[in-house]
């Protein structure tokens, strides 16, 4: 039996922040400037408080044997196009490096898809860094299809 059968996916709590940040900071491909430097921790606390206060966003953790082994965030977005349809946007999907290959990411994504259905979304969408070819194969295996090009403009 797969060890992830005991995997718990729950809403993140303030006490989970250090473990979540460590997962982000340990990602060599992310390029988001995440760090476990204590001087930066206030930035994460401020972001966490904004997320928790939003009824449209949820930050999750995946817990196995009492340890946080993954995280992801969802946001419900409603647009006038598509006759006012909603999409569940999934962000910051990360599994702790030493826990990859155990289907933890798959369980997190299936949780996100279930949330989308419960909230009446017409689709689930996400973006993935162009260099993350393993992640692209992972999402395609779960039924996601490449459909759009992404653009960004960094603001100073």
Q: Are 77 and 122 in contact (CB under 8 A)?
A: no
Ordered domains of the chain (ranges, CATH): 3-141 (3.40.630.30)
pLDDT range class, residue 3, cuts 50, 70, 90: low
Residue 1 has pLDDT above 60, yes or no: no
DSSP class of residue 35? -
The pTM score is: 0.91
Helix (H) or strand (E) holding 95: strand 86-95
| % pLDDT > 90, the chain | 76
Q: What digits encode the pLDDT tens for the residues 114-137? A: 999 999 999 999 998 888 888 899
* Polymer length in residues for the chain: 156
pLDDT range class, residue 109, cuts 50, 70, 90: very high
Helix (H) or strand (E) holding 25: helix 17-25
- CA 152 to chain CA centroid, Å, is 19
Mean pLDDT confidence for 87-91 = 96
pLDDT range class, residue 54, cuts 50, 70, 90: very high
| Whole-number average pLDDT of the chain | 92
pLDDT of 93 reads 95
b/e per residue, 32-50, with b = 16+ CB within 10 A?
eebeeeeeeeeebeeebee
pLDDT range class, residue 4, cuts 50, 70, 90: low
């Amino acid at each position: 039996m797969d060890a992830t059968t005991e995997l718990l996916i729950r809403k993140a709590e303030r006490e989970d922040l250090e473990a979540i940040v460590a997962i982000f900071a340990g990602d060599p491909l992310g390029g988001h400037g995440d760090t476990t430097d204590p001087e930066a921790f206030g930035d994460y606390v401020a972001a966490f408080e904004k997320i928790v206060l939003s009824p449209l966003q949820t930050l999750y953790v995946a817990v196995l044997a009492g340890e946080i082994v993954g995280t992801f965030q969802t946001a419900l977005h409603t647009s006038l196009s598509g006759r006012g349809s909603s999409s569940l946007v999934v962000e910051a999907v990360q599994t702790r490096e030493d826990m990859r290959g155990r289907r933890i990411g798959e369980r997190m994504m299936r949780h996100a898809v279930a949330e989308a259905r419960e909230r009446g979304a017409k689709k689930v969408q996400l973006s993935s860094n162009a260099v993350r070819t393993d992640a692209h194969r992972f999402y395609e295996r779960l039924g996601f299809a490449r459909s759009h090009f992404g653009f960004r403009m960094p603001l100073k």
